[in-house]
Chains A and B, each alone.
Chain A
Amino acid sequence: MTLTATSSAGAPAKGRSLWDDARDRLLANRAAVASIIVLLTIGLISVFGPILSAHHYDTVYRDYVKVPASLEAYPKPEQVEPGFMSSAKRARLTVETFEREGDTIVAKVTSSRDIDPRAVLYFDRSDLFKNTELTDMSADNKSATVRADINFMHFYFGTDANGRDMMTRTFIAGRVSLTIGLLATFVAISIGVLYGATSGYLGGRVDQMMMRVVDILYSLPFIFFVIMLVVFFGRNFILMFIAVGAVEWLDMARIVRGQTLTIKRQEYVQAAEALGVADGGIVRRHIIPNTLGPVVVYMTLLVPKVILLESFLSFLGLGIQEPMTSWGVLISEGARNLQGAPWMLIFPSIFLTSTLFALNFIGDGLRDALDPKDR
């Protein structure tokens, strides 16, 4: 029974499609909207974070191996003097007086031999100091004053076992994980939708053949398949798409085929047949657009699945190669260092889980938006 809406007095030329309705319902869903915002934030951080960050993702800071996450700048006050002493020792200088004046260190140094002006490099090479200069060189070249600026750096997420900034690495890993998640999903969905719709629409023997191929591919163990690929082609990024895409489209093909079987009995498909529309046109214009509801929902659930698969592969050492990294790799490293350096696990995990949560909420929201129960 249809109801006459009192509000539809004026006749707008543009119609509200089912998609418009779905969008409105999605935007009314608070969890979904919050998730979209979270996901967008994570996406933006992953894209622009590494560019804006003060550190490069593969820069190694030898003096800051496994330093904990902190909002304060490094070096910490108590680190400055030992750091200076060890640099001075390396430069074969004896420190007579050590004074800190704000962000500069002023120290009188002596040496048994002539002081080489290049000794400043020993200080600059350390991650703690910069702009070191030698002044007040004595006449015998045996004593001088060293002035060095403290090189303040922030490691908000701490550093890893090689002394690389975890924050930048987490961001760059987000790029990799999200790219793999989205691209592999896109690949899987494109293949799956086309394959499933074709199989379901053509039906009969063709359908039987096509679905048996799917069954055979299903029976291949995923890990075995990936190991084979790695053995033959070596490890690389594109391989991940192929491996994940090649496995994940199977589910999609089955879902879409099932949908297609019901849709092709619909009268609008019969009407198109009676109009003389060719098979390709029917699949493209009538079947695929009407399967997209479940497909979109499945897509939001597939992205996290793919990200987890990639993490799993990386965890096994079959995924991304150093120094490039992904959330899976970071988490696997973090898990190994859980005892001494929990921040290595915590931060990438927060990003991964919030992405997964967000995608799942969006998926739920889309499912409610696309097939509402009472309409």
Chain B
Amino acid sequence: MTSETKKTVLSIKDLKVDFETATGTINAVQGVDIHVQAGETVAIVGESGSGKSQTMMAAMGLLASNGRTRGEVIYEGRNILGLPVGKLNKIRGAKITMIFQEPMTSLDPLYTIGRQLAEPMVVHGGLSWKAAKAKALDLLKLVNIPEPERKINAYPYEMSGGQRQRVMIAMSLANDPDVLIADEPTTALDVTTQAQILDLLADLQKRLGMAVIFITHDLGIVRRIADRVYVMKTGEVVENGDTGQIFNRPAHPYTRMLLDAEPTGHKLPVPDSAPVLLEAQKVAVEFELDSGFLKPRHVLRAVDNISFSLRKGQTLGIVGESGSGKSTLGRAVLNLLPAGGRVVFHGQQITGKSRAEMRALRKDMQLIFQDPFGSLSPRMTVGQIISEGLMVHEPSLSGRQRDERACQALEEVSLDPAMRNRYPHEFSGGQRQRIAIARTMVLKPELVVLDEPTSALDRTIQKQVVELLRDLQKAHGLTYLFISHDLAVVRAISDTVMVMQRGKVVEAGTADAIFEAPKCDYTKELIGAAMLTQQQMMETA
């Protein structure tokens, strides 16, 4: 669009995708035009359900069996849409490659990294195993895997998420592709790893000169790496243009809404006179690993002597990368895991209490999970899910009273109570998280541990959920233990923040102190990786 000097490598013209389902036809993509030039990075942005992934999946002929496509996908002057699989395979996987969101499941756990890299080169490229292995090693070096000579013989489970994503990238580069389609490649990764992967992609593009189509819901990433942006909403491109133009002069209201979706605001501090609700002293959790008959005992300290105290109405944010022990700490505080140390809730020591003894206390201390898809039982209606806690803790209530309370709870989280007879799979991620919140709120708890409650949600939904949580806190005087790797969300909701690394607290203080003036290197690194994108967004806003 800007410089016609460069050659357009892939162009999608008026692509439509329909899905035939039992409940009718779903028009997932409704006439989309996208083109990408050599050496260019194009981002497709949109919330989940906007059809951005389906557009690229359709272009690659990877739709589910009930999908129907119309339109044109032109690669090297040829329409590749609807080509038979045999011909398509010469292009896809070789000249147009894809990397996906889940590095954990994209690799076969039974084969070594080297073998998985080399196999397509042997099968499709006609190389010998030896040559393929050598090329695989080069690829691993290209994507900056530490110790490539050793890692080539490693199995996927021996690698971290970031390393696996690097392997996936290496795999997609094996045949010198013209176009690399990256479908949310960093969503499942920690902020620091995410930054590294983005740098790697930018670097590779510069060196290899391929075109990159980047599908994401995260505008921070777009700002950072994309030349041009397509904004998609409900199967249509609502706006497209240069990155600067989109960010500085967004024309479509939807784009403006996306740009404005960063959780904002601060929580009002709680007076010092508020009573202490929860006190944790030297909480420690250990997991025994592989302790076999003859093997020496190997102990992993997931949580290492952590102490804190929470006043009523306060929110403590716990920040850290995956594996830092923050979720384990949350569960240890609720006595869902055997833990050392002492946890005092309401003046009562709860560590060491049996499950039966804890049961009465469970009403006042609740847990909300990260994955709104996994935390609701698929065979129960929403009403049953919400009123289950009442059945346990207030057995004297009649069925009708329970139903009323469930309705109130649904209204409180701004969901229509008429939907209580539906099943969880009929709701979107954000609605499900609201249901999960309603399930805890119906019991009127005092302490809620929120384990990454917004991580699986889109930015715009995140903002709404954060606002909902803040409103509920204000209305009921709730105390939150907010666990997240998302610094923007933590900042918007917390009074005090604890930064965890490898089971230890590396820094703690008020939210402002931590974010304005971080002392510890690790904190600086975390903030650097996350804030780089946000600062840029602040400037544009």
Contact = CB atoms under 8 A, between A and B. Distances in A.
Given A15-B423, A281-B392, A8 B377 contact: no
A286 B371 CA distance: 17
Contact of A274 (B48, B51, B367, B425): B367
A64 to B, nearest CB: 55
A309 to B, nearest CB: 32
A11 B393 contact: no
Interface stretch (B344-352, B378-386, B401-409): B378-386
B245 interface: no
A18 B416 CA distance: 21
Interface string A269-292: 011111111100100011001101
A25 B363 CA distance: 40
Interface string B259-297: 000000000000000000000000000000000000000
A4 B429 CA distance: 12
A290 B377 contact: yes
A204 to B, nearest CB: 13
Contacts of A139: none
Interface in A10-26: 11, 13-19, 21, 24-25
Contacts of B416: 11
A150 B392 CA distance: 76
Interface in A244-263: none
Contacts of A339: none
A17 B388 contact: no
Given A274-B362, A276-B363, A290-B377, A1 B53 contact: yes
Given A2-B48, A4-B234, A11-B418, A275 B374 contact: no
Contact of A3 (B26, B382, B443): B26
A276 B362 contact: yes
A78 interface: no
A5 B21 contact: yes
Contacts of B397: none
Contacts of A273: 336
Contact of B392 (A267, A271, A277): A277
Interface in B461-515: none
A275 B425 contact: no
A278 B392 contact: yes
A272 to B, nearest CB: 7
Interface string B14-52: 000001011111111000000000000000000011010
Given A6-B25, A11-B416, A18 B421 contact: no
Given A267-B369, A290-B377, A276 B23 contact: no
A374 B54 CA distance: 14
Nearest to A286: B377
B422 interface: yes
Given A11-B418, A17-B381, A268-B377, A275 B23 contact: no
Interface residues of B, number: 58
B441 interface: no
Contact of B378 (A8, A271, A290): A290
A323 B429 CA distance: 63
A353 interface: no
Contact of B26 (A4, A14, A18): A4
B374 A16 contact: no
B2 interface: no
A266 interface: yes
Nearest to B67: A374
Contacts of B391: 281
Contacts of B123: none
Contact of B439 (A13, A16, A271, A292): A271
Q: Which of B360, B362, B379, B422 has the most CB of A within 10 A?
A: B379
Given A17-B379, A24-B22, A278-B392, A1 B54 contact: yes
Nearest to A265: B374
Nearest to B382: A15
A7 interface: yes
B528 interface: no
Interface string B352-371: 00000011111100110101
B539 to A, nearest CB: 31
B375 interface: yes
A16 B423 contact: yes
A3 B28 contact: yes
Contact of A270 (B54, B359, B369, B379): B369
B336 A274 contact: yes
A346 B375 CA distance: 55
Given A271-B436, A272-B388, A289-B379, A13 B22 contact: no
B219 to A, nearest CB: 18
A71 B236 CA distance: 68
Q: Which of A272, A281, A290 has the most CB of B within 10 A?
A: A272
A87 B366 CA distance: 91
A266 to B, nearest CB: 6
A24 B23 CA distance: 10
A5 B26 contact: yes
B426 interface: yes
A289 B25 CA distance: 30
Interface of A: 1-8, 11, 13-19, 21, 24-25, 28, 266-268, 270-278, 281, 285-286, 289-290, 292, 374
10 closest Cβ contacts across the A-B interface? A15-B422, A276-B362, A7-B24, A267-B375, A274-B367, A267-B374, A289-B379, A268-B377, A374-B64, A276-B359
25 contacts: A2-B48, A2-B49, A2-B428, A3-B28, A5-B23, A6-B26, A7-B23, A11-B418, A13-B419, A15-B421, A15-B423, A266-B374, A270-B336, A271-B369, A272-B377, A275-B388, A276-B362, A277-B388, A278-B392, A281-B391, A286-B377, A286-B380, A290-B377, A292-B379, A374-B64
Given A4-B234, A271-B367, A277-B388, 6 more contacts: A3-B26, A15-B423, A16-B426, A286-B380, A289-B379, A374-B66
